[in-house]
Amino acid sequence: MVTRSAQPESKTQSESAPARDLPETILVLDFGGQYTQLICRRVREAGAFSLLVAGDTPLEKLRALQPRGIVLGGGPASVFEKGAPQSDPRLFELGVPVLGICYGMQLGCRLLGSRVEPVKDREFGRAKLSILDSSDLFKGIPPDTIVWASHGDQVTDLSKDFRVLASTPTCAHAAVSHKSRTFYGVQFHPEVTHTPHGVDILRNFLYEVCHCRGTWRMRDFLEAECERVKTQVGADRVICGLSGGVDSSVVAALLSRAIGKQLTCIFVDNGLLRKNERELVETTFRDHFDIDLRVIDASREFLSDLAGIVDPQEKRRRIGHRFIEVFKMAAREVGGSPRFLAQGTLYPDRIESGQSHAGTAANIKLHHNVGGLPDDLGFELVEPLKDLFKDEVRALGEVLGLPPQLVWRHPFPGPGLAVRVLGEVTRERLDLLRDCDQILLDEIVAANLYRQTSQVFAVLLPVKSVGVMGDGRTYDSVVALRAVESQDFMTADWSRLPHEVLATISSRIINEVQGVNRVVYDISSKPPATIEWE
């Protein structure tokens, strides 16, 4: 394993930050690959600043960013096809090291006189890499290692100006370098976890080739992003919709630091919140951060909309419609004619919605922060977290001084407890679920399991069961407990909570929450189940 000193506090990027504020900048050129932002993340994890830019960015703009090195990312196209994404052909005139990954390797090799063609033996999945040259890029890497490949094209006619660094059984030019220019190419993805030594290869590029020092810190991002927000907003007002979740909380804290009294936060109490959630938000942002916080109690309106509704999609539709109406009304009452709306959009939200810098990422699903707000809201967006992953947002929250219970709290669905109360949503059923959920979370925290799980919650089922309490028969509600572990929430496995912890939770709920006589534990994984029940 290759080791480095100067490990970072955290890592991130800001595309609009002034070049003079970007230490040891590594530019990642985006050609539409699904893993492009993961390259940025790995660079930041290694302690250098990464900046994602369009693949066809002109040389003059690239030079103005003063990069220490450049990475050409992957992409779904073939470099020889008409209309395939291209970089500025003068790229190598910058005189800085360049690393091409998959499509990026093919593009760089083609620009430097090699031929790329489709091949019969395509590589998709794990491949055995045999390293022929262990200097620079492969320093400290075992001579035989596993890599993750995903390509149907290869560099077939390698220019005599190149040397071969590594090969696989079906790819003779799996890694190459140019003899006179500092260009390296790899026909696999070092950024994914399926390449065991991929992080070490990227670190070698940063430290052995680009000679970075690993000085990037999350605090640097905070200062740069505050300056960017000030420039974007000017003297205008900004409103931010607070939900109590980590993303909107970090956005609010960052904007408060950047523009102070120009910020107004709106928190809508829809009556579907976790226990004491409203109090937590008010205490944190009104008292601790001294933010102009407007709390709108619209619980009666939301519950009225949900009366008699049992279909989960209809619940979501009604909640979304009412939220927009309440938010628009609250925004109109904010003085100073606010021009900007701040959102906690993260990078996975954008990439899953098909919004890469190259405009060629696949559209997987639409997120409410990306495309779900109506056009007639009339605001320009401020999205300071748009290039971050969830763990990076948490790290930023810690730097901003947010309390741990906000920074590390588990995700909460947009429709709130309405999708955890199966069947009709009433105030009584919500109160019952809130009490059960609070007991569950209290015991998970007491057992030191909260940070070891990704999401933990209770679900009120639309059924009743027979029970015995004392000498009498009961016919009361059933509550399901759900605890999962996940890296990205695209897949999840159920948590193997200790039996004694489950026993304590069940006993407390049945004894302390009137109206519940049975507790069950959900042991379904995603897929085939989803994390939420509705």
Catalytic residues: 102, 189, 191
Q: What is the torsional sign of CA 231, 233, 236, 237? A: negative
Instruction: Say if CB 356 and CB 76 are below 8 A apart.
Output: no
Query: For the chain, how far is it from start to end, CA to CA, in angstroms?
Result: 44
Lookup: tokens for 283: 């205490």
The answer for residues whose C-beta is within 8 angstroms of residue 382's C-beta and 6 or more apart is 229, 232, 233, 238, 255, 340, 341, 342, 343
Instruction: Say if CB 225 and CB 384 are below 8 A apart.
Output: yes
CA diameter of the chain: 90
Cα dihedral 54/55/57/62 (nearest 10): 100
Reported as type and span, the H/E element at residue 407 is helix 404-407
Reported as type and span, the H/E element at residue 332 is helix 312-332
Residue from 428, 437, 414 nearest 534 by CA:
414
| Strand 98-101 with 69-72, pairing | parallel
Dist CA 149 CA 167 (whole Å): 12
Query: Residue 331, Cβ neighbours under 10 Å: how many?
Result: 18
Integer-rounded Cα Rg, in Å, for the chain is 26
The answer for residues whose C-beta is within 8 angstroms of residue 428's C-beta and 6 or more apart is none
Residue from 266, 253, 265, 261 nearest 226 by CA:
253
Sheet strands (E) in 366-412: 380-382
The answer for residues whose C-beta is within 8 angstroms of residue 496's C-beta and 6 or more apart is none
